[in-house]
Amino acid sequence: EEMIYVPDDALGPVGDIPPFAVRVSGESMIGAGITDNSIVVVNPNGEVGQGDVALVTIGNEWTVKYIYTKADGSLELRPANPSYSPMFFNKEDLASGLVKIIGKVVWIIGKPKKEF
């Protein structure tokens, strides 16, 4: 365990489930400044809006992506690296729990982003 300082104004609302940190593996979010081995702070109480970066579970896998909810209730998970494709899920995937938005990424700790 490590202590990570995050300014109060960056966290957003804090509820029953406290914010937590996750180490990221991979390059799919490099354009958002989230590089391989970055640490992201996730607030499960923060409202996730269109275009926000969030931690999402897909089955037993975890991923960090931009979130876009469609009018029909479907969900697009969009990477910040053109080498990766977006992922699309229908509203049934969300209703069944296959895909679940865990929380909003509110802070990033890692190497400076690279241009691509």
Q: Which of 25, 38, 65, 85 is catalytic?
A: 65
Which domain does 49 fall in, by range? 8-109
Tell me, yes or no, whether 2 lies in a domain. no
Confidence at residue 112, expressed as pLDDT on a 0 to 100 scale: 55
Known active-site residue 85: no
What are the two backbone dihedrals, phi and then psi, of residue 95, each rounded to the nearest 5 degrees? -65, -35
Nearest to 65 by CA among 109, 100, 18, 19: 100
Whether 3 is in a domain gets the answer no
Which residue, among 58, 81, 83, 53, has the nearest Cα to 68 in the 3D structure?
53
Residue 115 lies in a domain: no
34 and 40 Cβ atoms separated by less than 8 Å: yes
pTM of the model: 0.85
Active-site residue identified among 28, 85, 104, 114: 28
Report residue 22 as tokens.
């996750």
Question: Is 1 part of any domain?
Answer: no
Output the pLDDT for position 116: 47
Q: How many domains, the chain?
A: 1
- The closest alpha carbon to 63, from 97, 20, 101, belongs to 101
Instruction: Please say if 28 is a catalytic residue.
Output: yes
Question: Looking at the domain assignment, is residue 116 inside a domain?
Answer: no
Is 76 among the domain residues?
yes
Q: Taking the chain (116 residues) in consecutive chunks of 10 residues, what is each chunk's mean pLDDT?
A: 67 77 94 92 92 96 96 96 97 96 91 53
Report the distance separating Cα 37 and Cα 75, nearest Å.
26
| In a domain? residue 33 | yes
Under 8 Å between Cβ of 105 and 42: yes
Does a structural domain hold residue 57? yes
pLDDT at res. 11: 66
- Report the CATH number at residue 42: 2.10.109.10
